Amino acid sequence: MTAVKSKLPPLALTLACFAGPALAQNGLCGGVGDNGQWIGGAQASSDISTVDNYQEQMALVLGGNEYVALFSVSEGTDVRIEAAGRGAGDPIIDLLDAAGGVILSDDDSGGNAAARAEAFLEPGDYCMSLRSYEGGPMTAFVRVGRTEHDPLTTGVAEAATDTTTGNCATAVPMGTIGDSVTAPVTETAYWSFTIDAPTPITLTAEGEDADPTVTLYDADETFIDENDDFNGLNSQIDVSEPLQPGTYCVGLGALGDDTFPITVSLSVYDPEAALLGMFARGEAAPPLDGSVPVTDLGALQSRARQDVQASENVTWFSTDIEEPGLIVVEAIGSTGVDPWLVIFDDLGRQLGQNDDSGDSLDSMIATKVERGTYLIGVKQYDAGQGLIRLVMERYVRAQ
């Protein structure tokens, strides 16, 4: 894996782990941005609509934690956000609005394991959350700028296919809503589909041996969206706003073996299914209204243990904390099992996420807590099932 080199303007780089950029005000991005760093060093210099050049920081992500860069736009602006790990670092980014809603997520669209995404943003404050794909410590460059600014990453466009315009003249018709097709990229790199009424869509590209990337274009071959690694190594694009009637083009790339088949499927976007999918993947905390199974473990007094027959979908637990302190949660797998762990508070704010702690496949999160209810999710990282032992310990503040 090749690290992406960056050309830094004088004094433009902030070493965030030692740093001095101003912290966010409380509650930004649903609380995710409370300990974030303004990408320009201060709120006034972090307006991407007006800055002369991109803004950039260096971030140190310790195991299981996340780094949050903050920025704003004062007018509707096409913005590019990127993260490139140093060495073998593999960053994942989420873009959140001021209320904490996830606008987009990306893993490898920057090429060479870097993350990259572009979006038109309305005026407001935003948070870019950065974490390590493997859950271990990582140093990374983060950059936020307008699309006319120099990019930090090469992009999958250069690493695999061109995502700004397609080559849709070679596209093979795949049908319409409800249809699917299968072929390796070496045989068919572009498919087309037609819709005859305004329709929100979900487009999936499945084939983990190929590790597919998928890009959506309109009839003029103008880029709409792209994705890599939405669910495992498979990819998915959700377009929640209805696409207008017409013909669209799907571009495929393979970051793995391009001779393996990729199945492309088109369906109507289902917001309820999309939300349930986020709960199943551990990307959001489920409500405590019984609509999603959550096992109540009661109040955590000092130490508790729970065995979980885990699968690739998250199994959820809740526990009550009766006074402020610290909790340490471990997910310990049986032989050959790779646990994955996440913790949210009762407002849906993620407090920590971890895959591999230290040199083991086991997971661990330590986080400060106040009085309240906390949700703990655990799953088997790979497909299949396995026994995972969940251990929770509570520590109180010294008097």
List of domains in the chain: 13-154 (2.60.120.380), 160-269 (2.60.120.380), 285-396 (2.60.120.380)
d(CA 38, CA 24): 7
**pLDDT (average), residues 291-296:** 93
Question: What pLDDT, on the 0 to 100 scale, is given for residue 144?
Answer: 96
Question: What pLDDT, on the 0 to 100 scale, is given for residue 4?
Answer: 34
**pLDDT (average), residues 307-321:** 92
Residue 139 near residue 59, CB atoms below 8 Å: yes
Question: What pLDDT, on the 0 to 100 scale, is given for residue 85?
Answer: 84
d(CA 98, CA 347): 15
3-state secondary structure of 62: coil
Question: What pLDDT, on the 0 to 100 scale, is given for residue 17?
Answer: 37
Residue 64 near residue 364, CB atoms below 8 Å: yes
* H or E element in which residue 274 lies: helix 271-281
- C-alpha angle with apex 393: 391 to 398, nearest 5 degrees? 170
Give the range among 206-215, 255-264, 287-296, 352-361 with minimum mean pLDDT.
352-361
pLDDT surpassing 60 at residue 41: yes
d(CA 44, CA 173): 49
3-state secondary structure of 165: strand
pLDDT surpassing 90 at residue 361: no
d(CA 281, CA 149): 34
* pLDDT tens readout for residues 97-147: 998 888 888 888 887 788 999 999 999 999 999 988 777 777 888 999 999
Residue 340 near residue 379, CB atoms below 8 Å: yes
pTM, whole model, 2 decimals? 0.55
Q: Considering only residues 216 and 87, tell me which one the structure prediction assigns the higher pLDDT.
A: 216
d(CA 72, CA 36): 13
Question: What pLDDT, on the 0 to 100 scale, is given for residue 58?
Answer: 85
Question: What pLDDT, on the 0 to 100 scale, is given for residue 383?
Answer: 65
**Beta-carbon neighbour count of residue 293 at 10 Å?**
10
Question: What pLDDT, on the 0 to 100 scale, is given for residue 166?
Answer: 55
Question: What pLDDT, on the 0 to 100 scale, is given for residue 329?
Answer: 95
Mean pLDDT of the chain: 85
Question: What pLDDT, on the 0 to 100 scale, is given for residue 64?
Answer: 63
> Residue 240 gets which letter from DSSP?
E
pLDDT surpassing 60 at residue 163: no
Question: What pLDDT, on the 0 to 100 scale, is given for residue 230?
Answer: 80
Residue 56 near residue 149, CB atoms below 8 Å: no
